[in-house]
């Protein structure tokens, strides 16, 4: 079902933005010295959640570059860890991740210096996950208790994302905004018998689809092309 939804959303994406293409191209190429923008952002929401949720931490940041024709190239990255501490199961995981993709504004900029936008976009993500050795205890059904260890393991997680959101320039070069994301894990069977409890950048390792949101604060560098 998640693959069907993903295909619908993916093939619908161009229709959200195709109507804006001609006007945006005219704006982007009409400037004698087109402006470049490189923006750095951190996810303030994840930092807040780290103080509330005591069994995991997550840090995310983003870098985007205004390319041309109102297209922004994106790189998101982050790291984090989690722990499971049940009476019958204990283990820890940690991982880093990288997402690459693009955003496309939904609305035509009225002025070249207007960098605020609502947008849609997509990402491909790659996560490198390490799970420590897990200690478990089970009942054999006859009243006996069996304890054991599942060896530590390393995994690579792949997923795709569709995202949308907004960026507002609060004061010159300073931005705030948000993203919502729907994520589709591409290799759920690769985690073996004990899946990671939490994959930073994705979510629960035992689910094939995840939803998430980010609240970003960012700063932009701008410069103009020389003739």
Per-domain boundaries in the chain:
2-224
Over 90: is that where the pLDDT of 13 sits?
Answer: no
Mean per-residue pLDDT over the chain, rounded:
86
Average pLDDT over residues 50-64: 96
Give yes or no for a contact between 78 and 201, defined as CB atoms under 8 angstroms apart: yes
Residues 170, 168: Cα–Cα separation, whole Å: 6
Over 80: is that where the pLDDT of 3 sits?
Answer: no
Q: What is the pLDDT of residue 21?
A: 47
Give yes or no for a contact between 212 and 183, defined as CB atoms under 8 angstroms apart: yes
- CATH match for 2-224 among 1.10.10.60, 2.40.160.20, 3.40.50.1220, 3.30.420.40: 2.40.160.20
């Amino acid at each position: 079902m998640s693959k069907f939804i993903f295909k619908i959303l993916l093939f619908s994406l161009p229709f959200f933005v195709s109507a804006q293409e001609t006007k945006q191209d005219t704006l982007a190429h009409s400037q004698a010295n087109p402006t470049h923008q490189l923006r750095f952002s951190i996810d303030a929401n994840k930092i807040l959640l780290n103080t509330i949720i005591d069994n995991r931490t997550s840090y995310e940041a983003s870098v985007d570059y205004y390319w041309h024709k109102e297209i922004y190239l994106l790189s998101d990255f982050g790291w984090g860890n989690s722990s499971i501490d049940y009476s019958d199961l204990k283990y820890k995981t940690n991982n880093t991740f990288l997402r690459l993709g693009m955003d496309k504004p939904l609305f035509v900029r009225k002025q070249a210096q207007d960098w605020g936008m609502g947008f849609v976009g997509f990402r491909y993500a790659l996560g490198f996950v390490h799970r420590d050795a897990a200690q478990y205890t089970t009942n054999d059904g006859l009243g006996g208790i069996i304890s054991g260890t599942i060896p530590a393991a390393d995994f690579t997680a792949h997923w795709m994302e569709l995202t949308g959101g907004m960026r507002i320039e609060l004061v010159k070069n300073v931005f705030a905004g948000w993203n919502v994301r729907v994520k589709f894990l591409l290799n759920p069977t690769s985690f073996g018998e004990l899946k990671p409890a939490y994959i930073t950048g994705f979510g629960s390792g035992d689910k094939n689809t995840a939803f998430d949101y980010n609240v970003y604060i960012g700063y932009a560098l701008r410069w103009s092309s020389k003739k």
